[in-house]
Structure 1
Amino acid sequence: MQRDEMLAYCLAKPGAWVDQPWENDEVVKVGSRIFAFLGNPETGTVGVKCGANREIADEWLHRYPDDASVMAYLGRSGWNTLRLAGAIPADELYEAVDASYEAVVRKLPKRERPAGA
């Protein structure tokens, strides 16, 4: 999967928008919160919330040891970095983004939740 495909998929979510909080690093937010870290164009990864806790998120590490890793700084909260051009099938990458988006939307204040989310 290419980075532009993943970005387009993320932006198709209700209320999704791109932000660049750090130089050359893009994230996709819903409301005021990030649900996907795309980094800079060369990274070829997406950082998503893969579970409510580290134990659940670790399932990705066991299934895809070469293509999934604990995300720096947010890993203890269930965030992983997934490689886009590795062994993880595209449909599983999309499902991971869907789950991350849903987890973030659930925690948004009602006034920030997009219609249709």
Structure 2
Amino acid sequence: MLSRDAINAYCKSLPHSTHVVQWGNSDVWKVGGKLFAVCGWSNGESAVTFKVTDLGFEVLSEMPGIRPAPYLASRGMKWVQVYDDPGLPDAELKAHIEASYEMIKAKLTKKLRSELGFD
């Protein structure tokens, strides 16, 4: 899995992403003030959490090293956490983080999307 630094660098590269540290020293990534990824720790190892589609949730949740995201999935949201090997290949992990970003961006108000230069 990508290192925490590499995940953070990738999230930072997405247009208008913002970063805060919260929830026990987790790197929390947002677009338009809405969460799209969290990079934190799971048993001392880096873990990354992101939103997925309904189908993605079903498929990814069954893969070794990936689980329904603690807290988020328990509230009925479709978020997964890559927490252990084998997880996902680096390019696939980046693609899922970007897809999460795009899903969140699409849900922003038209006014906010316009203010951020997305429309």
TM > 0.5 between the two?
Answer: yes
Partner of 2:14: 13
User: Gapped runs of 5+ residues in structure 1?
Assistant: none
Q: Compute the RMSD of aligned alpha carbons.
A: 2.2
1:10-35 per-residue CA deviation (whole Å, 9 max, x = no partner) reads: 11001001112334122011111010
Partner of 2:29: 28
Superposed counterparts of 1:1-117, under 5 Å: 1-40=2-41, 42-51=44-53, 53=54, 56-62=56-62, 64=63, 66-75=64-73, 76-83=76-83, 86-113=86-113, 114-116=116-118
Aligned-partner Cα distance in 1 for 2:23–2:69: 16
TM-score (norm 1): 0.83
User: Gapped runs of 5+ residues in structure 2?
Assistant: none
The residue identity in structure 2 corresponding to 1:80 is: V
Distance 1:85 1:16, change over 3 A: farther
Percent of counterpart pairs with the same letter?
A: 27
Q: Is the 8 A contact 2:52 2:96 kept in 1?
A: yes
Aligned-partner Cα distance in 2 for 1:67–1:35: 20
Higher mean C-alpha displacement, 28-37 vs 13-22? 13-22
TM-score (norm 2): 0.82
